[in-house]
Amino acid sequence: MASKREQVILRCSECGEENYISSRNKKLHPDRMETMKYCNVCRKKTLHKEKK
Ligand SMILES: [Zn+2]
């Protein structure tokens, strides 16, 4: 079986803007991704969470 890469959308937790699209390896990251990234709307680094 080929490894399945899942595309995830990272969404700013403060304004809700969908700023980043990333791909995740489910074996490496079984949990929801949460990462600090820059948001153009908030104009600062905010916590971005994976959108289901
Ligand atoms: Zn934001």
- Identify the pLDDT of residue 23: 85
**Residues 38, 45: contact at Cβ < 8 Å?**
yes
Where along the chain do its domains lie?
7-43
- Identify the pLDDT of residue 1: 58
pLDDT in tens, 11-52: 999 999 999 998 877 787 778 889 999 999 999 999 999 987
Beta carbons within 8 Å of 1's beta carbon, 6+ residues apart: none
What spacing in Å lies between the alpha carbon of 1 and ligand 1's midpoint? Answer: 38
* Alpha carbon of residue 23 to chain centroid: 9
Return the CATH fold of 7-43: Rubrerythrin, domain 2 (2.20.28)
What spacing in Å lies between the alpha carbon of 52 and ligand 1's midpoint? Answer: 18
